[in-house]
A and B are shown apart, each in its own frame.
Chain A
Amino acid sequence: MTRKKVKLAFILNDSARKATYKKRKKGLLKKVNELSTLCGIEACAIIYSPYEPQPEVWPSPMGVQRVLAKFMNMPELEQSKKMVNQESFLKQRILKAKEQVKKLRKDNREKEITQLMFQCLSAGNIPHNNLSMIDLNDLAWLIDQNLKDIGRRMETLEKQAQMTQSQSQMAAPPVAPPAPPLTLSGIVAKNEEVTLMDHGHGLEMSAETVPRQWFMNLMNGNGNETMASGQTNLQNGFWSNPLLP
């Protein structure tokens, strides 16, 4: 394997070119062999070079004859369907590469805007003053996407909660009403760190059990900024949520 990247152009240095030819020709024929063996298929290769008067062939002159005969016996259409030359092959590769780049750029852009959204959440407002309308628009789109996903996920969790609740009600003795599984989220505020150990068990909980500190931690995050308006809205939103008893 090469240590440096080889430029995809004709090698001008004669000896370097010849050396490369020998190595790569060997490698190419090895690959044809492997393909043929691994997949149990017929194949042949013919190489004309300025270094040898006779073409180099694989698997053998007879093998080549056999494969070519089979190939030539096919209707013209079948032969040319998957036939490529340098130009068409490179064009195919270029097309594929373009698609890959486009997809990656889109994904990376989404990741960037997601980061922007998180930064806004941490800071409590939109901190950057040099965002273009395109940025803001993408941010708006991402916000809606997230709200959709969150909503869906919350539905799923609520359904699960209802199921386990009704199950435990059925299993319990008829006298005492069973307590629904109640898990408190462990909130550990280490310096400015917030870790929540309750994942995936979100269920009913009474408002009183949630410390106020939680809200402040959400909005403050790492920094010590206190966005008063953000906090108030958050608290209002929480307290007035129909999910709470």
Chain B
Amino acid sequence: MSKKKSSLGRQKIPIEKIPKKSHLQVTFSKRRSGLFKKASELCTLCGVEIAIVVFSPADKAFSFGHPEVESIIDRYLSRNPPPECSAHQLVEAHRNANVRDLNMQLTQLLNHLEVEKKRGEELDHVRKARQRQFWWESPIDELGLHELLQLKVSIEDLKKNLGKHASKIMMEQSNMSSQIVAANGLGRFDAFETKPGAGMNIASTLPNNAYYLGFRHAYL
């Protein structure tokens, strides 16, 4: 099992024009995004007003401005101080409140992202450890023909058991409640798209919106 690095990681590069065009394009994209992010943070943290204008290698104009690119440019070019009327201030206050909310929302999402990343790493770790003990947990591409055969048969067996198990549960529950489970049109249901915590370790109660029966009926 060879360990493949998905990327080179952070590497120090000399600050001079990047020779390779494709590399240059990627760098521009990433760094421009990071630059705007830093500018956004500076505005939020310190309450300053900024405008940044950059031209892409293809001569497209990208700009970031707080409160607005145009107002900052006008202010700079005309050397006029910003208007201080009460209507303006009201607009500003409202906008700042919005930004505050958006920042909170973003922070929350980034935290969720971190949590999921860690979870993923732990799950990978557990599987790698188990692979040393159970050969069938190795990736399919690493198994030999007869191993694959073994595995196939076992899984097919499990599939049969699963079908029986599921039918049993459905019978038990239809005996308990007289509710008719309708396949409500929740439209597309992709496997694994559940809310966190809705899966394992929850007592098997038949949910009212049995959407899976509509889309994935073939499986059980």
Footprint of B on A, CB under 8 Å?
A: 6-11, 17-18, 20-21, 24-25, 27-28, 31-50, 55, 57, 64, 67-68, 70-72, 74, 78-79, 81-87, 89-91, 93-94, 97-98, 100-102, 104-118, 120-122, 125-126, 128-144, 146-147, 149-151, 153-154, 157-158, 161, 185, 192-196, 198-203, 205, 210, 214-215, 218-219, 221-222, 230, 233-234, 237-238, 241, 243
Contacts and interface: CB of A to CB of B under 8 A. Distances in A.
Interface in B148-189: 148-159, 161-163, 165-166, 169-170
Nearest to B135: A196
Interface of B: 13, 15-18, 24, 27-28, 31-32, 34-57, 60-69, 72-73, 75-77, 95, 98-100, 102-107, 109-110, 112-113, 116-117, 119-120, 123-124, 126-127, 130, 133-137, 140-159, 161-163, 165-166, 169-170, 190-194, 196, 198-207, 210, 212, 216, 219-220
Given A6-B45, A68-B73, A38 B16 contact: yes
Given A40-B57, A74-B61, A105 B147 contact: no
Given A31-B34, A32-B35, 5 more contacts: A86-B99, A97-B113, A135-B200, A140-B220, A143-B162
A25 B47 CA distance: 12
Contact of B148 (A27, A36, A87, A202): A202
Contacts of B38: 24, 27-28, 31
**Closest 5 interchain pairs by CB?**
A202-B145, A202-B144, A237-B153, A140-B219, A104-B116
A173 B220 CA distance: 55
Contacts of A57: 76
Contact of B31 (A38, A84, A141): A38
Nearest to A113: B192
Contacts of B106: 8, 90, 93-94, 97
23 contacts: A38-B17, A39-B18, A40-B24, A79-B61, A84-B63, A85-B67, A90-B102, A94-B102, A94-B105, A106-B190, A108-B119, A112-B200, A126-B162, A132-B202, A133-B169, A139-B162, A143-B155, A150-B151, A196-B147, A198-B147, A218-B150, A230-B157, A234-B150
Nearest to B76: A46
A187 to B, nearest CB: 10
Given A39-B18, A133-B212, A142-B191, A126 B41 contact: no
A116 to B, nearest CB: 7
B141 to A, nearest CB: 7
